[in-house]
Structure 1
């Protein structure tokens, strides 16, 4: 069964969010029309986005007005409970939902609040704790899916034979490779670090560095062989992002010209999807992103269209426009560093809507649910506590048939660097996903 949505005035915003909620989340093909006759004669689900009733038995939604505006301005976001769920843009009585789900979903998905003035963290990032989702206790689950279920229930009340078709559960592990080696191929930085370890009397680090450099012991960050075996055994193909930046205080990767580094990337590309991890300083520079991307393309001999920002530095609309200008078509930066959950309110990939230009772009956004560093460093969880939190996030996605995307680092398995027991934590995600 297909669907049609009537409105007096179709807009790019309305078409964008109606398509996402109906097609991407509920699995029903939809179109928007302002033609009353077309709407009345449609044989399928009819949704009226208007204060006027058009036909009996339709799903009625009251427009808030956001989807008929242009540009960005402060919005009155008065939160309330729609059943057990937080919501805003109340509709009042006489409609099938107590709020304008299209406008509310658009506000969250477009990251409207991130275009408004805010106080950034030390890296210029939008903070999780100032987001609407965090302040209303729904950051840790995809609120758009929960709202879509309310919409689906309203549809089923009018069209009992219709059934929603969720995206389906998939486990999508991703990795950021900032430092492939803890001790090898570190150049002057490595020797400087050794000097600091000696000054600080950090003898375990000094001894480990010596064993790796001079006695042939495996480098603690070089975890690629076990990862390859894990992915081969489970049949899960990861996406891996490589840092190929010029050397800065924040970009400490080996030189992209280093032969062992190039060889590693080529070998790992055989069992993973490739993406660029643009420099810390690239977030508003298409030139830097393109330079980093070109380096990876030269190493592997193929086009690169996937990316994730180093330090998750993301500023709207500048970063996404820079990515598009550099030829990137898939970005994986949509998540918070300081808290697990769903920055854009969804686990399902979506196309970026440029609010200032009022257009749907060619850039696909792939949200992630959780990052390893968030659990251990920002939240201070032990390995056992992290297992509990990951199980909660993953179980929700399995139960609700939603994608589950994680962000991990190769360095986050080294017991010598404080990550004892985290390999078992991570491996458990694959066992649970079987």
Structure 2
């Protein structure tokens, strides 16, 4: 157990020390603001404040973790060893910067609370992020800082035992369109056929007819192939299905269709199943509740997992809605159009709501790669970038998460490329 002395124990201090010490390093912590208790403690201990009490292990703080709410914060990023740092402190500190305030700034997504320019989809764009602007988007800096902190502790307390971190990989498949042609209804099928015909996509016209007459399978229904891949290689994978009403933004088939429900139940026998939030569910808790209930009605259990991979993350509203509806795990923390570490980490973390200054029970599982990046780079470059990111995650013993779409594995895409990526991510020969 590590005893932490600080003059004032704030919700932010409790949150970030528990994440770094317990969540990342596996060390239990206790807090005190009583000097006598700190001095009397014989085990591992440190102080966190403006000045050291004596010759104890001391980490100097900046003011961020003592504040409430948010405001414009000046962040000067500096090179440090094999990484970067910000919020520098004096030489009296065991580390040259406040790693706790720095980690809180990234994990809480502080920069997404302050006014910023949104992209055309009303999202927080990667170009607005500090990590992108200062060149550390492709590094899990929070995990690297935590391991540096571990080394400082080990040097001061040689008898300290810290459980090793284990590198893992997992893929999440976002199913916005479970079928390309099947069960779309007569009017939608005719409209789609006309669109394909006048765009000279005659192959798709014939495919629509073959699917309609049950001569061939729907091209987007690749779930048996992916399940076979999972079974052969004994993999852990998540599938997130959209159950929204039909709108201009959400164009899946009706959630009551028996074939759709059958696919979800079939996939649920071999993989984790969750909800792909629709456009309006991200913004409206009533819509989110409706979609959650639909999924629970299909899987006959409580909804545990959610994903919002293409719309505005809408912090903190969307996460607070998930908390209110008792959804415990979310996989939306990442950039759909850029590879990197949106929150500076590859370790799951509890969401901290700055507006309410409270640690929520929602566990955020950040993803690093989204297959949408293929729209901006060549496959060769994407493979190279994924390899580099995998090495970064492997070095800190984190989890590499990648988001795909089911149509990535269809014949209308480049299935060999995406299966190749799955093999790379899962380290399959």
Q: Does the CA-based 8 Å contact 2:393-2:400 persist in structure 1?
A: yes
Report whether the alignment pairs 1:80 with 2:78.
Answer: yes
Which residue of structure 2 lines up, in the alignment, with residue 429 of structure 1?
A: 424
Which residue of structure 2 lines up, in the alignment, with residue 309 of structure 1?
A: 308
Over 3 Å counting, the alpha-carbon distance change for 1:398 and 1:338 in structure 2 is same
Question: Which deviates the most, 142-151 or 75-84?
Answer: 75-84
Cα distance in structure 2, aligned partners of 1:78 and 1:427:
38
Q: Offset at 1:141?
A: 2.1
2:310 is paired with a residue whose SS is helix
Which residue of structure 2 lines up, in the alignment, with residue 348 of structure 1?
A: 347
Cα distance in structure 1, aligned partners of 2:189 and 2:417:
25
Question: Which deviates the most, 345-354 or 234-243?
Answer: 234-243
Q: How does 1:200-279 map to 2 (within 5 A)?
A: 200-214=199-213, 216-279=215-278
Q: How many residues align?
A: 428
Which residue of structure 1 lines up, in the alignment, with residue 283 of structure 2?
A: 284
Which residue of structure 1 lines up, in the alignment, with residue 414 of structure 2?
A: 419
Which residue of structure 2 lines up, in the alignment, with residue 184 of structure 1?
A: 182
Cα distance in structure 1, aligned partners of 2:59 and 2:220:
53
Q: Deviations over 1:122-163 (max 9, x none)?
A: 221111111111112111121101111221222233223435
Q: Offset at 1:208?
A: 2.6
Over 3 Å counting, the alpha-carbon distance change for 1:268 and 1:239 in structure 2 is same
Give the counterpart of 2:119 among 108, 112, 121: 121
Give the counterpart of 1:381 among 374, 378, 382: 378
Which residue of structure 1 lines up, in the alignment, with residue 136 of structure 2?
A: 138
Q: Does the CA-based 8 Å contact 1:24-1:167 persist in structure 2?
A: no
Cα distance in structure 2, aligned partners of 1:17 and 1:41:
25
2:177 is paired with a residue whose SS is coil
Q: How does 1:95-114 map to 2 (within 5 A)?
A: 95-114=93-112
Which residue of structure 1 lines up, in the alignment, with residue 24 of structure 2?
A: 25
Over 3 Å counting, the alpha-carbon distance change for 1:71 and 1:78 in structure 2 is same
1:404 is paired with a residue whose SS is strand
Cα distance in structure 2, aligned partners of 1:93 and 1:318:
40
Q: Deviations over 1:29-61 (max 9, x none)?
A: 1122111122122233222112332342x3211
Scaled by the length of structure 2, the TM-score of the pair is 0.95
Over 3 Å counting, the alpha-carbon distance change for 1:118 and 1:165 in structure 2 is same
Q: Does the CA-based 8 Å contact 1:125-1:314 persist in structure 2?
A: yes
Question: Which deviates the most, 294-303 or 423-432?
Answer: 423-432
Cα distance in structure 1, aligned partners of 2:276 and 2:422:
24
Which residue of structure 2 lines up, in the alignment, with residue 336 of structure 1?
A: 335
Scaled by the length of structure 1, the TM-score of the pair is 0.94
Q: Offset at 1:167?
A: 3.5
Over 3 Å counting, the alpha-carbon distance change for 1:345 and 1:166 in structure 2 is farther
Q: Does the CA-based 8 Å contact 1:25-1:166 persist in structure 2?
A: no
1:183 is paired with a residue whose SS is coil
Q: How does 1:398-409 map to 2 (within 5 A)?
A: 398-409=394-405
Q: Does the CA-based 8 Å contact 1:171-1:433 persist in structure 2?
A: no
Which residue of structure 2 lines up, in the alignment, with residue 71 of structure 1?
A: 69
Cα distance in structure 1, aligned partners of 2:41 and 2:119:
51
Q: Deviations over 1:93-131 (max 9, x none)?
A: 221111111111111110011000011112211111111
Q: Offset at 1:189?
A: 2.7
Unaligned regions of 5+ residues in structure 1, if any?
A: none
